[in-house]
Amino acid sequence: MNTGSDGMGKVAVVVDEADDEQPERPLGSRAPEYIQRRRVLHLSWQVGVFVVGLAVVGAGVAMLVLPGPGWLVIFAGMAIWGTEFVWAQLVLRWTKRKVTEAAQRALDPKVRRRNMILTALGLTIVGVLSAVYLWQYGLTLPWKVGE
C-alpha cells in the first residue's frame, strides 16, 4: 500500500487543485480602457451603470410582490453593478460562495435523507387530517351542480 511518503520521517504533501475552479477576476472597473483614461467619461459611465443597475434591482424588488422572478432580476442588477463597483463584486462573490455551500449541504446524504423523512411525515399528517375532515364533514361543494 502506498501511503504517499518517500521514506522514514518524510511525508508527501498533496496540494488540492480543483480543475473546474476558475481564478477570481480582479476587483475594479470593467469599463473599456479609453473610458477609464478620461475621468469625466468614466464618471458618467459609472453613473449610467448605477442607474441601469438601480432600475433592474428596483424591478426585481417589485417582482418580489408581483408576478415574476424577483430574486433572479435582483441578482442580475447586482451583476450589472458588479461590472463597475467593487462593493457589488464583493457582494456577488459572497453570495456565490454561500449558494455553493448551501448546494453542497443539500447534496449531503444525511441532509437529503432527513429532508425526505420530514417531507414524507408532513405529507402523511396532511393526508390523515384531510381524511378525518372528509370523514367528519364529507365533500360538499360550495356551488350546486345538480340543479
pLDDT digits (tens, 9 = 90+) for 6-58: 445 444 444 445 545 566 677 777 777 777 777 888 888 889 999 999 999 99
SS3 10: strand
pLDDT at site 111: 85
Residue 7 confidence (pLDDT):
47
pLDDT at 64 over 70: yes
Amino acid identity for residue 106 in this structure:
A
CA–CA gap between residue 85 and residue 17 (Å, rounded) = 30
pLDDT of residue 120: 97
Contact, 70 vs 39, CB < 8 A? no
- Tell whether the model's pLDDT for residue 132 goes beyond 90: yes
Calculate mean pLDDT across residues 105-127. Answer: 91
Q: How many Å apart are CA 78 and CA 57, to the nearest integer?
A: 7
The set of cell numbers assigned to 93 is: 462573490
